[in-house]
Structure 1
Amino acid sequence: MPIDHLSLPVASVSRARDFYLKALAPIGYKLFREIRPDGSTPDSEPYVVGLGTGLKPDFWLQPGKPNPGAHVAFAVNSTAEVDAFHTAALEAGAKDNGPPGLRPHYHKGYYGAFIIDGDGYNIECVHHDFSANQ
């Protein structure tokens, strides 16, 4: 079975939410859920945010001490989506950690792009063309 969801600790949930809504929009991610502490107001800092593409969130952001160097990869259906993710992430304030392109040292059809987000996470978007391995 695939991984159901992942949660990352971030220094500011609202800042990370805003970044990921922009960076992941080209690959279909949207806001599913914001959970705030009891008694808080609608404009207070969310406690937990869930993003996803399907019927439920699979990428969660929560307050905590970031773990720079952690690596998360989002699989997509085309190289164009990888390119669009990379552009959107840089426009949203990420640092480039590897431009879109083939990474044949992983496998012949591995096309990925890497960025570093505001908390130091290494975020990747990847398309696997397994027909290239034939």
Structure 2
Amino acid sequence: MSDENPSVVSHISIGTNDYPRAQAFYDAVMATLGAKRILEHPGATAYGKLYPEFWVQVPHNEQPASIGNGFHIGFFATSKEQVNAFHAAALKAGGIDDGAPGPRPMYGDAYYGGFVLDPDGHKIEASFWDESLGNE
């Protein structure tokens, strides 16, 4: 196994109670970040750029999916425009605004992000780190 991968996380899975709706939502939202469907199983879809990084699925234990207070997923964006497109696509696909795209100085000068609740209530965001602004 190589230590060259800068990521700490291999993949993340979230549950849904309406798989077709969640799949349609994430098809639209993940495309804005250059991610696509990588793998599918009955009741589960994985998105990524090169490998399955983000899964949306019916819970394996067949119990209702629920959200966790304080839990959210942040996706990498390569520009402010990509953050804006992610946020707009999420709202158009049925998401709920949870923080319009923009700078958040409390996270550092270089941070620009937008927050949305997906149709199941999971808090997701896309963020861009503008290295030209520093991070003091």
- TM-score bin, normalised by smaller chain: 0.7 to 0.9
Pairing of 1:9-24 with structure 2 (within 5 A):
9-24=15-30
TM-score of the superposed pair, with normalisation by structure 2: 0.84
In 1, are the aligned partners of 2:39 and 2:45 still within 8 Å (CA)? yes
Pairing of 1:36-47 with structure 2 (within 5 A):
36=42, 47=43
Alignment correspondent of 1:29: 35
Alignment correspondent of 1:67: 67
Pairing of 1:87-126 with structure 2 (within 5 A):
87-126=88-127
How far apart are 1:68 and its partner, in Å? 4.5
Q: After TM superposition, where is structure 1 displaced by more than 6 Å over at least 4 residues in a row? A: none
Code of the residue aligned with 2:115 in structure 1: it is F
Alignment correspondent of 2:14: 8
Greater mean deviation of Cα atoms: 2-11 or 67-76: 67-76
TM-score of the superposed pair, with normalisation by structure 1: 0.85
Unaligned runs of 5+ in 2: 1-6, 60-64
In structure 2, do the counterparts of structure 1 residues 103 and 128 end up closer, same or farther at CA, with 3 Å as the change threshold? same
Unaligned runs of 5+ in 1: 37-46
How far apart are 1:67 and its partner, in Å? 1.3
Once the two structures are superposed, what CA deviation does each residue of 1:79-120 show, in whole Å capped at 9, x if it has no partner? 110011011111111110111100011100100000011111
Alignment correspondent of 2:52: 57
* 3-state SS of 1:99 partner: strand
How far apart are 1:2 and its partner, in Å? 1.9
How far apart are 1:131 and its partner, in Å? 2.9
Code of the residue aligned with 1:33 in structure 2: it is L
The RMSD of aligned alpha carbons is 1.4
State the identity as a percent: 37
CA distance in 1: counterparts of 2:73 and 2:28, whole angstroms: 17
How far apart are 1:7 and its partner, in Å? 0.5
In 1, are the aligned partners of 2:30 and 2:47 still within 8 Å (CA)? no
